[in-house]
Amino acid sequence: MSSPDGAVTLMLSDIADAESLEQTVGAERWEQLLREWQGLVDEVVRGYAGDVGKFDRDGFFASFNSAHAGLHAAVELQRACNELALDGRDVCPRVGVHSGFVIPNPDQPQGRNMVLAARIAAQAGAGEILVSSSLKDYTERDRRFRFKERGEYHFKGLVGEHTVYSVAWT
């Protein structure tokens, strides 16, 4: 999947503080939550013409042929998670979104842009959406999105500094 210029928008996410949540609620309730979470992710991503590439417990990656669709899906996912709760504790995803060119692979896209998307997602806090400068460039004219510079990062395995932005989604 790609936009007209060939770029793919990648979303990587997981549930913040998942290990602590799992220990608090126990294995049976945690497995139930994971099924609900995966169903929610599937519904939201497909609703924006995206494709869930892979789940790994509470984490996943998805791809979109549109930066706007990927960012709208990230916002909707955050909003929808307000409905998920475990024994009074919020279930908050950490989300990273990046647009770039990838090396196609049947299992998972490859290349530096997949690595960059993962590094950005790893910087996100609970309930936060972080995006790359390229994703911001594709979507900044959409007035529904507000971006705030979060800083420049030197990510392991990648050359140079990468500016990351948080997205106001409330």
The continuous run of DSSP H or E covering 51 comes out as: strand 51-56
User: Quick check: is 1 in a domain?
Assistant: no
Residue 147, class by beta-carbon neighbours within 10 Å (0-12 exposed, 13-18 middle, 19+ buried)? middle
First to last CA, the chain: 29
Mean residue pLDDT across the chain = 87
Q: How far is CA 115 from the centre of its chain?
A: 13
The domain in which residue 111 lies consists of 8-168
pLDDT mean over 42-53? 95
pLDDT score at 84: 67
User: Quick check: is 59 in a domain?
Assistant: yes
User: Quick check: is 3 in a domain?
Assistant: no
User: Quick check: is 61 in a domain?
Assistant: yes
Integer Cα distance of 117 and 61 in angstroms: 9
- Give per-residue pLDDT as tens, 67-111: 999 999 999 999 888 766 655 667 789 999 999 987 777 677 677
Integer Cα distance of 22 and 159 in angstroms: 36
Structure confidence at residue 51 as a pLDDT band (50, 70, 90): very high
The continuous run of DSSP H or E covering 145 comes out as: none
> What percent of the chain has pLDDT above 70?
90
Total number of domains constituting the chain: 1
pLDDT score at 86: 57
User: Quick check: is 2 in a domain?
Assistant: no
